[in-house]
Chain A
């Protein structure tokens, strides 16, 4: 009897769940195939205001056009591998809003919809030439620049002042900000060593020497390489890694690790660790997108008044920072027209102003000239001005110049992160690093 009862319960349970489910899945497939709804991939961000800003845009857009926007949120660490899995499986999202240049990376699939018409309608003059250049191959624009997550060198004002630095912000003849004694990467390392107090768990430099830190570590290595004038490929398209510039940059990175200004734990940091420990008051300087500012309050280890954003440090080749703007990539799916409508909607000045109204100038900052010109951005703090001031020093995952899909693949494939983990974990010297870079790059780029 018991057996029969259990079997009946089991069967009823199975059938009912199966029915619920079949209902659920058929419903969802109906909505996703109809062009009245688009799937938009975005980075999941726990910040409520950002979530709200995007939700409101979607709601307004639906009210205006009847097209439903379905956001698919994915954490940074999984984003790339999920995207590749999905695309290799033949499942293309309708749209991606991301900062790792998927349009360029997947241009070869032939499924990325050119955005030239969208940009034309918005006005190409609204964006800096460099920004559009990052997303253009042979005059085809594969991604529309949306906003940028401004990156900056966040530092502890109190620690640096205690170490004897005068932190007055000065302006050079080109209108660029600088602070005396903190202008170059060498200065930064020196300052980092000075403010380190390892016995009390305080470290000068918060750089993840780790392969768990998708994005952040790679961005740092990339910035150093670019600022020292290193290249991966030269104008003729040949591998050009073994140059004095690259060697100088790698040597710098090795010295940073050996200086003791970076905590040993940095080899296992993930993408948030640097910001987290900075906010918690353990770290003196970190490169990060401008999301830290909004997180500081009287309860955090680093108080709001302790934060100073330093102008970008320079190498022999100038000051460059890896920060790819968040871009809008549209794929050639059934919903391509609806997606382009939404892209245009997102790029409208009033849409963006509304979004900034909700989320503030913290995580994102504007790229579009009309938006930047709005009075809303007149009244900025010093830190915010420094961030906006370095806007034209951003480089994407390709070195300054022509974008190359293969270079962004290198960026995504832990190529740069592994340079750091080879330094910190495996103790590689410059020659070994060059070997590693040449072998990996030649395989990924030319095989």
Chain B
């Protein structure tokens, strides 16, 4: 490789990184702004002389939101966090268990209307939540689950279950069936083969699916708004709404609450994103 080519490559790289950084700055600006506002005093937010950079770092808004003191005295932020975790984890977990079975079944067995059912499940995922909300509310009431986190756990399955089934089905389709056949020849039962051979192979797919449903569930708004009125049972996605009430909206507090509410999903995503893209892609390559 000549020096000129090396130079050319270097320039190419510099140009690439330049554009990359530019794009990222542009697209993540709202998030930067959210963080900036959460660290500043309200006076510095409600002014026309606002500066673009971070001029002060003041964590008091975070403290008040987290501890429920000061302007956030009617907030139970930690309870909202816990509630969101419970609802999202339990419903994603429940969905993935059912979906692994169903996805495996749709991918591996042959029976009538197999593809029709798979397609139907995909369409269910495309349903507008609007049409489900009012009837689900009556259902939840009938079951005596109004104002209970169980209502949300069940209802979140309306989107997490069909998605998980679809995802797991496609994942199983990419796994070579020879492995489990070999295991069954060796005397394993079908269930044994699934448990010993298929599940470990499907793990990246499972993790990817859970990550995805976790993100979806964490930011759902319609259902918690309709099914929960009890302050201590609220979820984080609607919890900080009550800050935007009263006479002075503490914008730094609202932004701090927004940052805090985003934290868990970002962390989950940060650790599991490799699976999310990898899980999808490896499936494609292997088939």
Q: Which residues of A contact B (CB under 8 A)?
A: 2-3, 6-7, 10, 13-14, 17-18, 20-21, 25, 28-29, 41, 43-48, 51, 71-78, 82, 85-86, 89-91, 201, 270-272, 275-276, 279-280, 291-292, 295, 299
From known contacts A3-B200, A201-B48, infer whether A91 and B146 are also in contact, taking CB-CB under 8 Å.
yes
Q: Kindly identify, within residues 220 to 261 of chain B, every residue whose CB is under 8 Å from any CB belonging to chain A.
A: 225-226, 229-231, 241-250
**Cβ-defined contact, B244 with A270, below 8 A:** yes
**Cβ-defined contact, B229 with A86, below 8 A:** yes
B232 to chain A, nearest CB (A): 8
**Cβ-defined contact, B138 with A89, below 8 A:** yes
Q: How many angstroms between the C-alpha atoms of A6 and B245 in the bound complex?
A: 43
Q: Could you say which residues of chain B place their CB within 8 Å of the CB of A17?
A: 86, 89-90
Q: How many angstroms between the C-alpha atoms of A280 and B42 in the bound complex?
A: 10
**Cβ-defined contact, B93 with A75, below 8 A:** no
Q: How many angstroms between the C-alpha atoms of A282 and B196 in the bound complex?
A: 69
From known contacts A21-B86, A89-B137, infer whether A45 and B246 are also in contact, taking CB-CB under 8 Å.
yes
Q: How many angstroms between the C-alpha atoms of A6 and B226 in the bound complex?
A: 34
Q: How many angstroms between the C-alpha atoms of A86 and B184 in the bound complex?
A: 55
**Cβ-defined contact, B245 with A77, below 8 A:** yes
Q: Which chain A residue has the least Cβ–Cβ distance from B251?
A: A276
Give the contacting residue for B74; candidates A21, A51, A76; CB below 8 A: A51
From known contacts A51-B73, A73-B242, A201-B48, infer whether A291 and B141 are also in contact, taking CB-CB under 8 Å.
no
Give the contacting residue for A72; candidates B199, B231, B249, B250; CB below 8 A: B231
Say whether B208 faces chain A, with CB atoms less than 8 Å apart.
no
Q: Could you say which residues of chain B place their CB within 8 Å of the CB of A72?
A: 229-231
Q: How many angstroms between the C-alpha atoms of A10 and B242 in the bound complex?
A: 34
Stretch of B2-10, B108-116, B147-155 that contacts chain A: B147-155
Q: Kindly identify, within residues 153 to 202 of chain B, every residue whose CB is under 8 Å from any CB belonging to chain A.
A: 199-200
**Cβ-defined contact, A276 with B248, below 8 A:** yes
Q: How many angstroms between the C-alpha atoms of A109 and B57 in the bound complex?
A: 53
**Cβ-defined contact, B229 with A74, below 8 A:** yes
**Cβ-defined contact, B246 with A46, below 8 A:** yes
Q: How many angstroms between the C-alpha atoms of A76 and B242 in the bound complex?
A: 8
**Cβ-defined contact, A89 with B229, below 8 A:** no
Q: Could you say which residues of chain A place their CB within 8 Å of the CB of B203?
A: 2-3, 6
Q: How many angstroms between the C-alpha atoms of A70 and B78 in the bound complex?
A: 19
Summarize B's interface: helix, strand, loop or mixed.
Answer: helix
Q: Kindly identify, within residues 12 to 57 of chain B, every residue whose CB is under 8 Å from any CB belonging to chain A.
A: 43, 46, 48
Q: Which chain A residue has the least Cβ–Cβ distance from B202?
A: A3
**Cβ-defined contact, A279 with B247, below 8 A:** yes
Say whether B99 faces chain A, with CB atoms less than 8 Å apart.
no
Give the contacting residue for B245; candidates A71, A76, A82, A201; CB below 8 A: A76
Give the contacting residue for A47; candidates B46, B244, B246, B250; CB below 8 A: B246
Q: How many CB-defined contacts (below 8 Å) exist between A and B?
A: 111
From known contacts A46-B71, A276-B249, infer whether A10 and B93 are also in contact, taking CB-CB under 8 Å.
yes
Give the contacting residue for B242; candidates A21, A44, A90; CB below 8 A: A44
Q: How many angstroms between the C-alpha atoms of A74 and B239 in the bound complex?
A: 10
**Cβ-defined contact, B244 with A77, below 8 A:** yes
Give the contacting residue for B93; candidates A14, A21, A25; CB below 8 A: A14
Q: Could you say which residues of chain A place their CB within 8 Å of the CB of B43?
A: 299
Say whether B106 faces chain A, with CB atoms less than 8 Å apart.
no
From known contacts A25-B150, A46-B71, A82-B229, infer whether A272 and B246 are also in contact, taking CB-CB under 8 Å.
yes
**Cβ-defined contact, B200 with A44, below 8 A:** no
Q: How many angstroms between the C-alpha atoms of A419 and B113 in the bound complex?
A: 54
Say whether B107 faces chain A, with CB atoms less than 8 Å apart.
no
Q: How many angstroms between the C-alpha atoms of A51 and B71 in the bound complex?
A: 11
* Most-contacted residue by chain B among A17, A41, A76 (CB, 10 A): A17
* Most-contacted residue by chain A among B74, B90, B243 (CB, 10 A): B74
Q: Could you say which residues of chain A place their CB within 8 Å of the CB of B150?
A: 21, 25
Q: Which chain A residue has the least Cβ–Cβ distance from B42?
A: A280
Q: Could you say which residues of chain B place their CB within 8 Å of the CB of A43?
A: 245
The 4 A-B residue pairs with the shortest CB-CB distance in the complex, in nearest-first order: A75-B245, A3-B200, A89-B141, A46-B246
Q: Could you say which residues of chain A place their CB within 8 Å of the CB of B248?
A: 272, 275-276, 279, 295
Give the contacting residue for B200; candidates A2, A280, A291; CB below 8 A: A2
**Cβ-defined contact, A75 with B90, below 8 A:** no
Q: Apart from A6-B203, A271-B245, list 5 A-B contacts with CB within 8 A.
A: A14-B89, A72-B231, A73-B231, A270-B244, A272-B245
**Cβ-defined contact, B247 with A295, below 8 A:** yes
Say whether B81 faces chain A, with CB atoms less than 8 Å apart.
no
Q: Could you say which residues of chain B place their CB within 8 Å of the CB of A280?
A: 46
Say whether B61 faces chain A, with CB atoms less than 8 Å apart.
no
Q: How many angstroms between the C-alpha atoms of A279 and B147 in the bound complex?
A: 37
13 contacts between A and B (CB under 8 A): A3-B200, A25-B149, A41-B229, A46-B74, A73-B231, A74-B229, A75-B244, A272-B244, A272-B248, A275-B248, A276-B248, A279-B247, A292-B247
